[in-house]
Structure 1
Amino acid sequence: MGVVVLLLLLSFGTHLVYSGNHILHYYFTAVVSDVTHGLPQYSVVGYVDNLFFGRYSSDTRHPELLIPSLKGLNDLIKELTINAHDKENADIIMMKLIMSSLNKTGDGAFHVFQIKYSCELREDGGIHGNEDFAFDAKEFMTFDTENPQYLPLVQEALIVTQKWNGIFAKLKTVYMENVCISHLKFYLSHLKKDLEKKVSPKVKVSSSESESGIKLHCRVYGFYPRDVEVKWIKNGRDEIYSEESAEILPNPDGTYQIRVSVEVTPEEGATYSCHVDHSSLENPLVTPFEANNGKLLYILIAVGVTIILFAVVLGVFIYRKKSGIKWSRTAGEEERTNGHGPSCNRWRCCPRDKRRMGIVVFLLLSCGAHLASCGSHIFQYSTTLVSDPKQGLSKYSVVAYLDNLMLGTYNSDKLGPEPLTPSHSSFELYDDIEELTKIIYLKESLDKMMMKLITSSLNKTGVEDFHVMQIKNGCELSEDGSIRGNEELAFDAKDYITFDTANPEYIPVVPGALIAVQKRKELYSKLQRTYVENVCISQLKLHLPYLKNVLEKKVPPKVKISSSESESGTKLHCWVYGFYPRDVEVKWIKNGRDEIYSEESAEILPNPDGTYQIRVSVEVTPEEGATYSCHVDHSSLENPLVVPFETNNDGKLLYILIAVSVTVVLFVFLGIFRYRKRSGNFLLKCKYWFSLDNNRMYLHIVILTLSVLFVLPNTICNIFREMNWPETSRGSS
């Protein structure tokens, strides 16, 4: 029922605004249920000429004005608050009256009462009003403004209309013709600039094959205000009518978009064009559909690729025969698995003639195009809901990932999702961003329902404690084309529910989740499977081509080795950082063959520059003659990177350098002393020293000595480190 209600609310915003006319819309929703599934018990949204200017809900008990020019009007806010409270009480009474007449009071079911109310000021000064009622997603009754009375639309509404006709009908007429119209005029005076804003539409024409012929698509986007006329014309005069309902959809930037599609049977000599008429245009915008020569292009590309591949294969065959190049697997490169599936096998070229490396480089570059498609891909959402946004967190936030690449973010404080990758800022993915916006809005509503359901089942509804619900869900497209979905849910930092895609159902992880699972199972199990197999996978496939360069980027890791003392002996740390992509294998090896397993869980963490880091630590008991090394395997490396742990000679080196420095300083001091003794006029040759007494001179020498003792050894150590000497500083972690 929650999904139906959301769709009804969205469909309320589809009224057209006629030229010169102005309309004030209000949409009221009241919910009666033991569990409201995340919806407020009562809510109102207001529009002026389809400009969304304000809202109110029983959760906040305070109207929220969304247009900057209205936010400073304190008198208006006070009046709206009083009106909203009165209207809320009246509508709840109406709903109880309807439920009583339908014998639905106290049945425990989920019921929704909706009112769509508007008043219109026409260009000629005429006034018109409208009011429609719906109960449980079905039309219930309407108000006839010509003959002021309520009319039943279903048999069950007859009793209600009989009770309301009379005083209620007369009051409604007075309200429409006076109060509502005065409100409309007030809003128009303050929203003039917002309503007069005009943005011209952009148009893209495309085609696709259909069962009966060809489907032509005209996508019109980025326009404001909302009203637009889009139609397909054949041969410059005949309009082609679409069997599909074209819906005008909002964009995150406040503009709108629409796509009109028609099916045609190709005729020789026939022309087709998309005609767009909008208030921002002086003349209608006509975009012709060019005959689809794409097939010829694809044929030419296929022929060209075939010829190139044939030439490459023939060249390789001749070259190998003449030069004796052989291909062999890199030592130690067995097939391994990473977090997503089997890694690509790497190969190395072993030429016997270095003068012929040009063709080898070309072949390696050609191989790269194939290797890029190797492996599985994962599309995933990480969602967080909090019960108290006053803690500094957004009440609802989502982060989208593709193969651990952060694509975009969304939170309830913003109007829409925010793409983070450069390719998503282009208009090529504009359709995807709009589709993502709709999915995120629907997902937000469903997830809020889930949190309400969980808090209700745990008897935490109304409790002022801080609660957090986290959801991780997504889908995986394997290398063999198979599809797998996953969903995990945690409540207050504890595992709560998981989803079994093999047998589509939710499984409780803790006993307390049993009630929530039972309530959610019937509706959402099938919905989750449909989401995985259709919506999620289509999103994944849509993103992959645009992010190919980003996903193929490879940055080799850097490694630092250090050690620290532990209760049982020594702790060795291998810090691997600055690598991309995310998958990496890090392990400690003893004596070149025995792997040392860590008792600590090593987590791969993101860096601000988009790369990753990980630290793997193991505890060892020092043994004479034993060697330890950190082995790092990453897709950017031809061979695993092996960094040995050297025994802690850094401290010994420091002591040796200090000793040498002290010796040097003593010899210098002794030389100066002997020179002064032999040459009595030494101080006369240096005016600076001559101005100092002996005590001050000795003080300078002591300071110089200490400076040398502290600075010189560390400087030399740093120089050695810059020369890539192994870093084994004991005590660091």
Structure 2
Amino acid sequence: MAITLILLLLSVPAVTSKGSHSLSLHSTYIKGKTFFPEYSYTLMLDDVVVGHFNSKTWTYVPRGNTTDEDNLIDPQHIHTISKNIYDDFVERWIVMDGGNLTGSLQVHQKMFLCELLNNDKPGQMITRSASKGLTTDELCYLDGQFNYQGTSYVTQQELEPYLQLSMWFHENVYYPVCINTLKNYLKKRGTQVNRKVKPRFKLIQKANLDGGFRVSCLATGFYPRHMNLTLFRDGQPVADHEITGGELLPNDDGTYQMRKSLEISAADKHKYTCSATHLSLDNKLDIDLEFDPGEPFKSLIPSVLIVLALVLMFGTGVIIYICRRRRAASKKSDYSSASTSEENMEPAS
């Protein structure tokens, strides 16, 4: 349960616009007996981890194969931001939980995310907090304006000074440091996060027990993560409630995959199309889902023939082996009989 809570904010999908870039900090504060550090955070450029920090060493560790990325971050600014986040966590723990542990872990999280638009113009900054697995509040800063949404666990009178202080830090510390660091990281990692890898498509057909079929359209190996995969029936989008899947999943090589599936009856005569749009594709790609009711049986025939051939070969080998053993035994028996006869025919001395 604790691990699930810790990964809650880390699993929040990027909220950046298409073609833009983001820098996000995902922090976690834990009170209670656990193997995890009390305070830690991960820094990400888009969807790439570029560094991490934990309170056991109280040191920021860059992650990547470059030699000077640690120079991209002012240690004093990082220390200030880390200290403010840590103090905020401690204060919230005292206010929300009364500083009293009841035997279970107390987990609080915060996510900072700033955005750089595709015209190199600074975009929004979002701060999202969570406690005990639930989002408690969100503060959005854009063009000098703040928008706050949250679940009030304190009175409005108590909340007001906290918000005023938080907004001052966002505007004067967090936002400028985040945007500046984001620009510097893009200079170092621009090739990595701006690369475009075309998706590979695979159509999968599987027979159901009721005689129908499950047809799936799989797009895999693409980057960046933004992908639109749509299923059409006779040129019209299939309703969402008829489609299963659609989650964006990571591959081991840093690319992504997405699969959408649809149940089709054996009597279905409609034309289905899988349509994909991605930054690596010049135009929208349409793939017709042509399915054959007899295909599952046809695909089974080669496998059955191979098994039968192997069984036949094995059976033939066993028969040959047995025959050879019998012939060898027969020859040995004949040789023994001949030797005995010759000994009986020798004259007595």
TM-score (norm 2): 0.76
Structure 2 counterpart SS, 1:131: strand
Q: Quick one: distance in 2 between partners of 1:223 and 1:350?
A: 59
Distance 1:263 1:76, change over 3 A: same
Could you say which residue in structure 1 is the equivalent of 2:287?
A: 287
Q: Deviations over 1:69-99 (max 9, x none)?
A: 4x3145335x2x4334333332232122222
Q: Deviations over 1:310-341 (max 9, x none)?
A: 9x7xxx9xx9xxxxxx99xxxxxxxxxxxxxx
Percent identity (aligned): 23
- Alignment counterpart, residue 138 of structure 2, candidates 109, 123, 142: 142
Could you say which residue in structure 2 is the equivalent of 1:21?
A: 20
Matched residue count: 317
Q: Quick one: distance in 1 between partners of 2:70 and 2:304?
A: 71
Structure 2 counterpart SS, 1:281: coil
Structure 1 counterpart SS, 2:29: strand
Distance 1:140 1:352, change over 3 A: closer
- Alignment counterpart, residue 206 of structure 1, candidates 194, 204, 207: 204
Q: Deviations over 1:360-408 (max 9, x none)?
A: xxxxxxxxxxxxxxxxxxxxxxxxxxxxxxxxxxxxxxxxxxxxxxxxx
- Alignment counterpart, residue 96 of structure 1, candidates 90, 97, 107: 90
Q: CA deviation at 1:150?
A: 4.3
1:120-519 equivalences under 5 Å are 120-123=115-118, 125=121, 127-145=123-141, 147-148=145-146, 150-153=148-151, 155-156=152-153, 158=155, 161-175=159-173, 177-209=175-207, 213-241=212-240, 243-244=243-244, 246-292=246-292, 293-297=294-298, 300=301, 349-350=322-323
Asked if the contact 1:217/1:260 (under 8 Å) is kept, the reply is: yes
Across the aligned residues of Structure 1 and Structure 2, the Cα RMSD in angstroms comes to 3.5
Distance 1:295 1:175, change over 3 A: same
Q: Quick one: distance in 2 between partners of 1:308 and 1:195?
A: 51
- Alignment counterpart, residue 55 of structure 1, candidates 48, 52, 57: 52
Unaligned runs of 5+ in 2: 329-349
Could you say which residue in structure 2 is the equivalent of 1:116?
A: 111
The letter of the residue matching 2:43 is: G
Distance 1:280 1:308, change over 3 A: closer
Q: Deviations over 1:247-283 (max 9, x none)?
A: 3222222222222223344554322232222211112
Distance 1:32 1:85, change over 3 A: farther
Q: CA deviation at 1:133?
A: 0.4
The letter of the residue matching 2:129 is: F
Q: Quick one: distance in 1 between partners of 2:303 and 2:136?
A: 60
Q: Quick one: distance in 1 between partners of 2:154 and 2:217?
A: 43
Structure 1 counterpart SS, 2:59: coil
Asked if the contact 1:5/1:137 (under 8 Å) is kept, the reply is: yes
TM-score (norm 1): 0.39
Unaligned runs of 5+ in 1: 320-325, 328-347, 356-733
Q: Which has the higher contact order (CA 8 A, sep 6+)?
A: 2
Q: Quick one: distance in 2 between partners of 1:307 and 1:184?
A: 62
1:609-648 equivalences under 5 Å are none
The letter of the residue matching 1:294 is: E
Q: CA deviation at 1:119?
A: 1.4
Asked if the contact 1:206/1:289 (under 8 Å) is kept, the reply is: no
The letter of the residue matching 1:198 is: K
Q: CA deviation at 1:167?
A: 2.7
Asked if the contact 2:81/2:174 (under 8 Å) is kept, the reply is: no
Q: Quick one: distance in 2 between partners of 1:45 and 1:296?
A: 51
Asked if the contact 2:10/2:26 (under 8 Å) is kept, the reply is: no
The letter of the residue matching 1:82 is: Q
Distance 1:252 1:26, change over 3 A: same
Distance 1:225 1:301, change over 3 A: closer
Q: CA deviation at 1:115?
A: 0.8
Q: CA deviation at 1:223?
A: 1.5
* Higher share of residues assigned strand: 2
The letter of the residue matching 1:72 is: D
Q: Quick one: distance in 1 between partners of 2:56 and 2:16?
A: 31
Asked if the contact 2:27/2:110 (under 8 Å) is kept, the reply is: yes
Q: CA deviation at 1:139?
A: 1.0
Structure 1 counterpart SS, 2:218: strand
